[in-house]
Structure 1
């Protein structure tokens, strides 16, 4: 079952549909489907709060530009967006936690932050999972050193 889009997105898609009225029916259908799919994926990654929706619509650009590209038979420009900065910082923190596994605070922070972002469903899930795995490895390494220290001193 597909979830409805936020009202701003629905209005944007309705405007796009009207702007594409004169286009080839196949091109119109493909363009609307591509924009809907991109929008659904972007909202799943970023969330559907007002700021995220406005940012997405700014990235998509004016409906007239998309309609003009569809009428010309060229693909509509897609926004070039990399992974969110928070997820890049999360991976960096996880690597730091692995290098400094003797200080478990970094690893705990990584695991908590990655788990929170994964549950929220925002951002780059592959980077979040990578950070979570590295954070857990750092915690396991810390615990292994701790246990070996206690075994050696006993």
Structure 2
């Protein structure tokens, strides 16, 4: 089993800064980058010596921590972003359902049902609010509208 070589304090501080800078990177790439930088630092220290002058030369070869971190791939946003809590049902959707139910009671006035259908479609297309309530209001409004039109047509045909 091999152990990691002991680095001078300047190199250790650089590696700690690099690890912090890579915190938002994809985990596998972060590990590979840190391993590659450690390997390069060990080889360069063996070549240039492990004193302060050799450590500074290694740091000059590696370049700024920010440049290495900027070249890394960020971690997926889905894994990093916390799930937002469910928002309460918007009042607009509650009123939409109330109006849809009222359109059933007022089915002789198809304008109310038509307004419910249009409003429900607009809310559904916007993507905001409670989609379940919006779909329910759309169905109820459509049924009420079709019932009102059917009643009107039967009344006209009957005479």
TM-score, normalization by structure 1: 0.49
Which structure's CA Rg is the greater one? Answer: 2
Question: TM (normalized to structure 2)?
Answer: 0.48
